[in-house]
Structure 1
Amino acid sequence: MATNPTPNSKPAIYLQDMNEVRKVFDRFDANSDGKISAEELRGVLNALGSDTSPEEVARMMEEIDTDKDGHINLDEFAAFCNGNSDPYQSAEKELKEAFELYDQDHDGKISAEELHKILTRLGEHCSVNDCAGMIKSVDSDGDGYVCFSEFRKMMTNHKQ
């Protein structure tokens, strides 16, 4: 069972509450059976443009699947999202990796076209204009792109 953080613990870097964790979990759980298999994990990573090897997927599964049943359940996923070891360092690394998946041309910023490409691969139905609106909502410097600091701000604090 997932536990609530103590008042002194750092908030999750990625996901702010269990509703957000559930939404992401459901995206990974392609067959809606309440658990994420290695194949489902690999499928989402491939859709995001990652060339993660089967060995790396196996390592990820081993790290996250704490009850060793061969699948990741919601509680294990939530614990992973909240970072158990060094929350800030692990989450910062994961955040950079996520940013790099969206930053398809590796220029240090996410364009509306790049966002559209990734969301389409994930099965979302939105236009490039919709994606431009999403970017505008977090584009604090007004350049029309999301840089890593804006991405981090968006992912760590939705109230800003």
Structure 2
Amino acid sequence: MASNGHPKPAPLECSQDMNEVQKVFDRFDSNHDGKISPEELSGVLEKLGSGVSPKEVCEIMEDIDTNKDGFINLQEFAGFCKGRDGDSADKELREAFELYDQDRNGLISAAELHLILTRLGEQCSVDDCAGMIKSFDTDGDGNVSFEEFRTMMAVKP
């Protein structure tokens, strides 16, 4: 445990590639000023269909904004991407999975992946998304389950 009572961040499991972190950060930083404001965070979460309340946005900001300047910089964002040990990391991974699982059936389909990526400004087809899913679809059902998603998120590019 860290001295502030929060679990100490674990090593980055998803991707240690700062270029990838920078790309995601840039999606949030819509005005390209090098920091994510509460409004920018709220906007991206809204596009993802998360339905986060203003109070929840404030709580997220408080958790990530370690220097307490009211914004999230790249270093803070990278630290957040590292996640946390144990239950907290699993909860965050579950929440990320649920953003993609639009119909709440416990699976991410190519159409759902395409919908979210399109909302985030990615240029890809449903067939492209089906290809992405196929590479992690261990049971061959054409979808990504939570366990397959966990595996996918642990793979380093």
- Cα 1:27–1:94 change in 2 (3 A) is same
In the TM superposition, 1:3-152 aligns within 5 A as 10-83=10-83, 86-152=84-150
Across the aligned residues of Structure 1 and Structure 2, the Cα RMSD in angstroms comes to: 1.6
- Which string of whole-angstrom CA distances, capped at 9 and with x for unpartnered residues, describes residues 2-39 of structure 1? xxxxxxx8432343332222221111111111100101
Once residues 115 and 148 of structure 1 are traced to their aligned partners in structure 2, the CA distance between those partners, rounded to angstroms, is 14
- Identical columns (%): 68
| Counterpart for residue 3 of structure 1 | none
Once residues 154 and 82 of structure 1 are traced to their aligned partners in structure 2, the CA distance between those partners, rounded to angstroms, is 15
Contact 1:16 1:156 survives alignment (8 Å): no
Once residues 37 and 143 of structure 1 are traced to their aligned partners in structure 2, the CA distance between those partners, rounded to angstroms, is 40
SS at match of 1:105: coil
Q: How many pairs align?
A: 149
- Cα 1:15–1:88 change in 2 (3 A) is farther
| TM-score normalized with structure 2 length | 0.88
Contact 2:10 2:82 survives alignment (8 Å): no
User: Mean Cα displacement is larger for which, 137-146 or 96-105?
Assistant: 137-146
Unaligned runs of 5+ in 2: 1-8
- Which string of whole-angstrom CA distances, capped at 9 and with x for unpartnered residues, describes residues 69-88 of structure 1? 111001111112223xx523
Letter in 2 for 1:22: Q
Unaligned runs of 5+ in 1: 1-8
